[in-house]
Amino acid sequence: MKTKKTTRRGILAGGNWIIDQVKLINVFPHPETLSNISSESRGTGGAPYNVLINLAKLGAKFPLSAAGLVGADELGKEIVRHCRSHKIDTKQLTVSKDAATSYTDVMTEIDSGRRTFFHFRGANAEWTGKKLDFDRSKARFFHLGYLLLLDAMDQPDKRYGTNAAALLARAQRAGLKTSVDVVSEDSDRFSEVVTPALRYTDYCILNEVEASKTTGFKVRGSDDELDAVAIKHAAGELLQAGIRETVVIHFPEGAFARTKDGVDVWQSSLKLPAKYIKGSAGAGDAFCAGVLMGIHEGWDLQKSLFTGVCSAAASLADPTCTGGVVSLEECQALAKKYRPRPRLDKTYYR
């Protein structure tokens, strides 16, 4: 009797599951001084939560699945209910009886959109991924994030370097493509935590700060202007570290991608008026969701990056991480209203 061949489809995302408690403030205060809160709201936080909700809101036609650990508390129940309301499979999103659900107090300055995070790691710190069953999943992609913010996953592994690297290797052996995201941490841990995982990563999507920290290339000058040559060098270094398919580096001005076979693609972000921007907390994950949608659907890299910057632009209209993202068509329509900046590689950078 012949066994029916199954085709993997969809995205399984694992890592940080966080409730963001967003507070809009007039200014971030100096120690022992006062700042006023004008409004507050709750939203999604963490790479898998943000990416999956954004994909659902964009209108992804493929299955979406969650993996990770939440607490047996009201915040954990809220996460599970929210995912299910967007038809995200939560069978591998498990519940800890001992640890509370992770949350972050996000202080967002009204005028600038700049945000400061006060984070409680909670159940995320205990997630090892050891119970994650890739054979049970029919997903084509496994997205893991954030490296540097998953205590157990960031721990050393004798064979693979870190527990995260071991999990990614297991996903690849099961036939999934892997992608990773990193938190923008101000530390020197990037080489010991991020680099080992790159050897078992097909697609690496990170911002310019994270790329710089991981590779050592200074991608912004003293005038804060992006250096196109340094961006390319950083992407090349990440590929040399083991990325199998594509490196994508994003920044407020746009994005750059380089494939394993040496194809380079630049994409400008949209030129948004200052009054449009309500918060930037979710822009990176919104960009990531757009790019992953394109990669999953087999779009060319330019279209994937364009979808990413349009999704990020939509995200900027709301102080929460996923509140601003709308359908794919509505996101792409923003490019007609606001237009992309000039070409990055020829106009913006030296």
pLDDT of amino acid 99: 97
Q: From first to last of its 350 residues, what are the pLDDT tens digits of the chain?
A: 343 445 899 999 999 999 999 899 999 999 999 999 999 889 999 999 999 999 999 999 999 999 999 999 999 999 999 999 999 999 999 999 999 999 999 898 988 878 788 999 999 999 999 999 999 999 999 999 999 999 999 999 999 999 999 999 999 999 999 999 999 988 999 999 999 999 999 999 999 999 999 999 999 988 999 999 999 999 999 999 999 999 999 999 999 999 999 999 999 999 999 999 988 889 999 999 999 999 999 999 999 999 999 999 999 999 889 999 999 999 999 999 998 988 776 644 43
The answer to whether position 14 is within a domain reads no
The answer to whether position 274 is within a domain reads yes
Q: Give the Cα separation of 58 and 348 in Å (integer).
A: 30
Domain hosting 152: range is 47-104+128-348
pLDDT of amino acid 346: 62
In the chain, what is the greatest distance between 2 CA atoms, to the nearest angstrom? Answer: 75
The answer to whether position 323 is within a domain reads yes
For residue 325, give the nearest of 305, 309, 301, 302 by alpha carbon. 309
The answer to whether position 114 is within a domain reads no
Q: Give the Cα separation of 67 and 90 in Å (integer).
A: 7
Containing 39, the helix (H) or strand (E) segment is strand 37-45
Provide the residue count of the chain. 350
* Dihedral-angle region of residue 236 (phi above 0 means left; psi in -120 to 50 means alpha; beta otherwise): alpha
What does DSSP say about strands 115-120 and 37-45: parallel, antiparallel, or unpaired?
A: unpaired
**How many beta carbons lie within 10 A of that of residue 337, not counting itself?**
10
Q: For the chain, how many structural domains are there in total?
A: 1
* Alpha-carbon 125 to chain mean position: 18
Helix axes of 74-85 and 47-58: crossing angle, nearest 10 degrees: 30
3-class SS of residue 255: strand
Q: Give the Cα separation of 179 and 143 in Å (integer).
A: 5
Extract the runs of DSSP E, i.e. beta strands, from 169-304.
177-182, 203-207, 246-251, 254-259, 264-268
Read off the DSSP letter of residue 7.
-
The radius of gyration of the chain's CA atoms, rounded to the nearest angstrom, is: 19
The answer to whether position 27 is within a domain reads no
The answer to whether position 11 is within a domain reads no
pLDDT of amino acid 112: 81
CATH number of the CATH domain containing 65: 3.40.1190.20
pLDDT of amino acid 115: 78
What does DSSP say about strands 64-71 and 115-120: parallel, antiparallel, or unpaired?
A: unpaired
Tell me which residue has tokens 């940080």. 16
Q: Give the Cα separation of 144 and 201 in Å (integer).
A: 10
Tokens linked to 133: 């069953």
